[in-house]
Structures are given as structure tokens and as C-alpha cells.
Amino acid sequence: MGKLEQYKLLNSGQMKLGSIPTTVEYSMANLHLFLTKFEELYIKHDTSGQGRGIFKVTKGPYQLHTINGYSMQGQQINQKLTVKQIHELLQPFEKFGRSHPYIIQEGIKSVTDSGHPFSIRVHTQLVNSKWEVSGILANISSKQLDNNGIVNRCRGSQILPIEKLMKHYLKLNPKKERELLEKIKDVSICASETIASKYPAREYGIDVGVDNNLNPIIFELNSTPGIAGFHLVDPKIWRHIVDNRKGL
């Protein structure tokens, strides 16, 4: 299941309005269109993982736009290019009849008060025929990664407990922390139910952002999620996920 198929399923399900970013299949025409609508957007390879094949594009003057990210081979990209040049970068073999599948996604400003991009990983599991949230952790970018906005541990971001993100980086009071946590859980379970209705699975790793109004936005789901990060943050959470897996 690719990222575009995920978006179509989530968009046709019971997700709350605004809980998933606007997403379309990549084309040069759609890239032009999105740059008229949004100051920032993301281009993602439809089936990539570990931060590869993901680019942040920031609208710039004189039709030169900044593209930051990582190629499918993991090479770091940081250039100012026209739309045509971006297309040539993404589709180097198009003239030979070969093309890579990408999506274009509305940029969501999921950043701390100090401007550091962050994302939240939610691990959901189907336990006794009911979806539950088994673990939540946060990823926050380092200074070196702030420009590309790609928050992925494989690309050098830092993982930390969700409580630390909310208290120290988002500076939320206890009431706001509880409210945000409940919204994150609700939207993650709804997304799990929606995707599983067509692509059944027993667990998902869900990458979630938070907009300026403290609303969770789902970036994507992974049906084969890794759990090593939970062991680093809190071995008890990791053990809970493992124990659930044994009972699945």
C-alpha cells in the first residue's frame, strides 16, 4: 500500500476534516499548482521509508524554489531550482520511459516554539479485536536538519518521550497535554480502523504532526513498524508492545 492509496482511504473514511494533509499524485502540473497554494510542500516517494526519497520544497522568488531532503540513495539535497529542474531531479530516467512514483503533500508546520520540526510516532495494535495505542514517542530535528523539516531517526533526529515534547518543547500546561494526547490517540485509532478495513494488519506505526492549533495531522502509516525507538525511550513501553505481539 503506497502513500497515495493511504491518503485516498483516509480521505474517504471517518477521519475528521483537516486531520490529513492535502495530497495528490506527483506531476509537474500538480507541483506548479501546489506552489500557488502553499508556501511549503513535501514530495515523497510513494513507497519509500527511513527518510529516503522525501523532499521539502519551499516557495521562493523568481520561480526558484528551495528543495531540501534525501534522494532514494540517501544522498542529501539542498538546492534552489525551478519547477522544471525539480522535475528533472526527481525523474532522471523519464526520457528512457522510466519514472518514479511520488506524491505531493501540503506542508504542515509541525514545529516547536523555537522553530524545530517534530513528529510523533504512535504505535497501534489490534488486541482482542479492538485497536489500542500501545506506545507514543516524539522525534525532534537537530539544528542541522531544521531546514529540510524531515524528522526521521534514520536521518539524525532525536527521539524523546512524548511528555517531554509537550511539557518542555511545546510548553503545554497539564490540561492541554491531556487534551492533545487524547486527540492523538483518537485520530490514530480512527486511522488504524480505516486502513485495516481494506488492508488488514495487526499493528501500525503512525507518523503524526501537530499544527499551530494543536490539532494532530496524520502524515502516513507503516504496517511493518520498527519498535527499537521505544526501547530507547522507555523499555516498559517496548515490553508492552512485544507482549501484545506475542498474544496477537
pLDDT for position 91: 93
Give the burial string for 186-215 (b: 16+ CB within 10 Å, else e).
ebbbbbbebbbeeeebebbbbbbbbeeeeb
**Residue ranges covered by each domain of the chain:** 22-106, 118-247
Question: What is the 3-class SS of 179-204, one letter each residue?
Answer: HHHHHHHHHHHHHHHHHHCCCCCCEE
Contacts of 161 (CB under 8 A, 6+ apart): 137, 138, 233, 234
Helix (H, G, I), strand (E, B) or coil at 167: helix
pLDDT for position 59: 96
Select from 49, 39, 37 the least CA-distant residue to 150.
Answer: 49
Please write the tens of the pLDDT for every residue from 15-57.
Answer: 887 899 999 999 999 999 999 999 999 999 998 877 789 999 9
pLDDT for position 123: 98
pLDDT for position 32: 96
* Architecture of domain 118-247 in this structure: 2-Layer Sandwich (3.30)
Rounded Cα gap, residues 144 and 246, in angstroms: 39
pLDDT for position 92: 87
Residue numbers of the chain with a pLDDT score lower than 70: 142-156, 248
Please write the tens of the pLDDT for every residue from 146-164.
Answer: 565 566 666 567 899 999 9
pLDDT for position 76: 87
pTM score of the predicted model: 0.90
pLDDT for position 156: 63
pLDDT for position 72: 84
Half-sphere exposure of 21 (CA within 13 A, CB side): 29
